Amino acid sequence: MTFRDRALCRMLQKAVAKRDPDTYEPWMKALMCAVGQACDWTDRAYLEPLLDYLKE
């Protein structure tokens, strides 16, 4: 992940954090659960819930 990617993720996390957690969409929950962790979003295990949500 590049510096630019990390910066964009942090900005997105800050924006999502302002919302009520009860209104989070699945991708928002995944993003907020990843705060402070080193995640590889190319791993199928991380992508599967998001792909399922997008297919609906």
**Residue 26's pLDDT is what?**
87
Decide: 25 and 6 in contact? Cβ < 8 Å.
Answer: no
Q: Which residues lie closer than 8 Å to 23 by C-beta, 6 or more apart?
A: none
pLDDT (tens digit per residue) in 1-54: 577 777 888 889 999 999 999 999 988 888 888 887 776 666 777 778 878 888
pTM for the complete prediction?
A: 0.59
**Residue 34's pLDDT is what?**
81
**Residue 14's pLDDT is what?**
92
